[in-house]
Amino acid sequence: MLGMDRSLGIDLGTVSVLIYQKGKGIVLQEPSVVSILRDSGKVLAVGEEAKNMLGKTPGNIIAIQPMKSGVIADYEITEKMLSYFIRKVCGDSKIFRPEVVICVPSGGTEVEKRAVLEATMQAGARKAYLIEEPIAAAIGAGLDISEPYGNMIIDVGGGTSDIAVISLGGIVVSESLRVAGNNFDEDIIKYIKEKYSLMIGEKSAETLKIEIGTAMELKEELFTDIRGRDLVSGLPKSISIGSNEILEAISNSLKTIIEGVKIVMEKIPPELASDIADKGIIITGGGGLLRNFDQLLSKVTGVPAYLAEKPISCVALGAGKVLDNIHVLKSGLISMYK
């Protein structure tokens, strides 16, 4: 029975990994970053410690994000990262290997899905099950997806935005976009570089997005100072930037997500469309925390949109709930390894 208690639900995200442990809840939330020695490939640090090295490492150390747009970009490093996190949660026991439910974006190919399953098994799982992110997010947000009603979910993560309509435990219509929170950061870096000839790092861009980022123009504009390297003089420089500028910077990425939402809405069967009009759209994922994103969605769709209670942990919580009902939900899981 002890082995069962070590069952894990894992949200293997582009930006962070969250792990749910049966009976304990969310036990780990760390960045999906690994720092290694360039020559030998030896792992020096994983997670938070490795993220702190991003952009600051000497020439012989590289900090890698092994997940890109929700899929494995570096198989070996992903496996090492997963192995480290599983050991951190479960200890080094060879006897009690955990049963793992792991999440993937809905648009992943069979090859990408198999890579995730294999990496999970190599990292020390006894059994691995795969579930699509929108289903996990919907379950984690507290929706009853087993009923014959339509539920619409938008999961805006770091690397992917998954938009799906779910009914009777399965995905009816979905769209998976490789545009999400990370793209907002890249847009901000590019905008400030082009407008102010100022180079800022990923962390600074993320801070700007969190502090003053918005999906719609604000009545009272927010301002903050940002430091970077002046590309003309090469010296450090500080400028003041407003929320409307951040909106301008990220507008194309926002447009792409909104277009994805419209595509899904156009394909919804009429019987389910009325359910969604009544219930609204649920937003999950860290990208969904962007100020006024819910209002923007409501405005363009004409349907109320709500941010889930714990948007960042919905996918991991959903994977955890699946663990409790693994035998019931087996038909809805994509694939499994024994």
Q: What is the pLDDT of residues 210-266, one digit of tens each?
A: 999 999 999 999 999 999 999 999 999 999 999 999 999 999 999 999 999 999 999
**Length of the chain (residues):** 338
| Interacting residues of 91 by C-beta distance below 8 A, sequence separation 6+ | none
Has 301 been labeled as part of a binding site?
Answer: no
- Smallest CA-to-CA distance from 141 within 129, 154, 131, 132 is with 154
Any alpha helices (H) in the chain, and if so which ranges? 2-5, 48-51, 75-90, 110-122, 133-140, 181-196, 202-212, 243-267, 270-279, 293-301, 314-324, 326-329
What fold, for 181-249? Actin; Chain A, domain 4 (3.90.640)
Has 160 been labeled as part of a binding site?
Answer: yes
Has 333 been labeled as part of a binding site?
Answer: no
Segment 65-81 shows an average pLDDT of: 89
Burial classification of residue 13, based on how many CB atoms lie within 10 Å of its CB (0-12 exposed, 13-18 middle, 19 or more buried):
buried
Token digits of residue 279: 């219930």
The Cα angle at residue 173 between residues 171 and 178, in degrees rounded to 5: 95
Domains of the chain, residue spans: 2-136+314-337, 148-179+253-307, 181-249
Has 159 been labeled as part of a binding site?
Answer: yes
Has 208 been labeled as part of a binding site?
Answer: yes
Has 201 been labeled as part of a binding site?
Answer: no
Tell me the average pLDDT of the chain: 90
The answer to whether residue 337 scores a pLDDT higher than 60 is no
The answer to whether residue 97 scores a pLDDT higher than 70 is yes
Has 237 been labeled as part of a binding site?
Answer: no
Has 286 been labeled as part of a binding site?
Answer: yes
Right CATH for 2-136+314-337 from 3.40.50.1370, 3.30.300.20, 3.30.420.40, 3.40.50.360? 3.30.420.40
Same fold across 148-179+253-307 and 181-249: no
Right CATH for 148-179+253-307 from 3.30.420.40, 2.60.40.10, 3.40.50.300, 1.10.10.10? 3.30.420.40
Paired residues of 227 in beta bridges = 238
Paired residues of 198 in beta bridges = 230
319-335: per-residue pLDDT in tens?
Answer: 988 887 766 555 555 55
Has 195 been labeled as part of a binding site?
Answer: no
Has 158 been labeled as part of a binding site?
Answer: yes
Cα 130 from Cα 213, distance rounded (Å): 34
**What pLDDT does 204 receive?**
94
- Smallest CA-to-CA distance from 323 within 100, 110, 152 is with 100
Has 209 been labeled as part of a binding site?
Answer: yes
The answer to whether residue 4 scores a pLDDT higher than 50 is no
**What pLDDT does 51 receive?**
86
**What pLDDT does 217 receive?**
95
Q: One-letter amino acid identity for 116? A: V
In this structure, the strands spanning 99-104 and 8-12 are: parallel
